[in-house]
Amino acid sequence: MSHKPSVIELSPTQVRDSLARKEILLIDVREPAEYGAERIHGALLYPLSTFDAALLPSDKSLPLVFHCAGGVRSLTAATRRLAISGSASHLKGGLAAWKAAGFPTVRIDPATGEVVDIPAAQSGR
């Protein structure tokens, strides 16, 4: 009896800790306007609307973890990646879960183009 691989769901704490240790590559699959409005520091943008799982890096030393606003789009992206790579993970609950856990985010200031840190206390609001 063979076991079909499934997407690994990671908690915000697991993702935060793995990012801090530089053990993962976090891929944000939301659209550019969402990414610019607020994002997890260190996440790379690859919108689901143009997503091709085969074009993502295949460096085995840094597993890919997908995230979106609430976890639906990232699960879709991770499932597509799983079909070609044999393993995939996503942030369960997405950015909403990240913020609910009290973790900080960043945004781009539209007036200056500079990155603005949003402290954990303000990020959850």
Please give the Cα distance from 85 to 117 (Å, whole number): 34
**Residue-level pLDDT at 108:** 84
Q: Which CATH number is 18's domain given?
A: 3.40.250.10
Domain region containing 70: 8-123
Structure tokens at 50: 């143009």
pLDDT tens profile 58-72: 666 789 999 999 999
14: in domain: yes
Residue 98 and residue 67 in contact, taking contact as beta carbons nearer than 8 Å: yes
Over residues 76-94, the mean pLDDT reads: 93
Nearest CA-CA partner of 13 in 3, 1, 21, 4: 21
**Residue-level pLDDT at 39:** 95
3: in domain: no
Task: Answer whether residue 114 shows pLDDT above 60.
Answer: yes
Collapsed DSSP state (helix, strand, coil) of residue 119? coil
1: in domain: no
CA 36 from chain center: how many Å?
Answer: 14
2: in domain: no
CA 50 from chain center: how many Å?
Answer: 16
Over residues 11-18, the mean pLDDT reads: 98
**Phi–psi pair at 81, nearest 5 degrees:** -65, -40
The larger pLDDT score, comparing residue 5 to residue 22, is at 22
